[in-house]
Amino acid sequence: MVQFISLDPIAEARAQVKLRYSRARPVRAPMKPLGLMAERVGRKAGTAKLPPLKQIQLNWRQIVGEQIWRWCQPEKITASKEGRILTLMVVPQAAPMIQHQSEIIRQRVSVAAGGDITGIRLVHGQIRRTGPGEFRRRSRTLTPAEKAEVAAHADPIDNPRLRAAIVALGEAVLSATE
């Protein structure tokens, strides 16, 4: 091993400064800018072939499936350098579940949209359905005898606010079962 020992401290300081500014410079591949230009031109030409967002919104239930459809809906598609990003409006309680399945959703939507969806962005909010609403169970009305029975069971409670809350809970439970 050969070592260079300098007795001149000024020359050594100059060498260290020179090394500081010449180390670890990134080397760029010469074809990358050409590839980016080709991708940008191709993306602009390919946008006419993609189905519009309305088409994805109409077929959303078939694209992602029944379970995911309940909790999210597509809002918009935005363009970025890497491709297109689909923005989903998600119910906040289901956001972790949708986040875990975002790659599956991206693949399915990408197939439906022509293969250009590269990412998914989640936005928390309430879902507004334009089509037919979800099925809601109808609650039955309680008879006066059932209401009196619930009130009789809650009579031993001294606190009037607590008693009213217990009666309301009992009526809700009895009216929900059919």
State the burial class of residue 145 (Cβ atoms within 10 Å of its Cβ: 0-12, 13-18, 19+): exposed
CB contact set of 95 (below 8 Å; sequence gap of 6+): 122, 124
pLDDT value at position 17? Answer: 84
Domains defined along the chain, listed by start: 33-124 (3.30.300), 144-176 (no CATH)
Q: pLDDT-derived band of residue 97, with 50, 70 and 90 as boundaries?
A: very high
Structure tokens at 10: 């000024």
Q: pLDDT-derived band of residue 116, with 50, 70 and 90 as boundaries?
A: confident
CB contact set of 127 (below 8 Å; sequence gap of 6+): 71, 72, 73, 89, 91
Say which residue, 29 or 73, is predicted with more confidence: 73
- DSSP bridge pairs for 78: 85
Say which residue, 20 or 162, is predicted with more confidence: 162
pLDDT single digits (tens) 32-56: 666 666 666 665 555 455 456 888 8
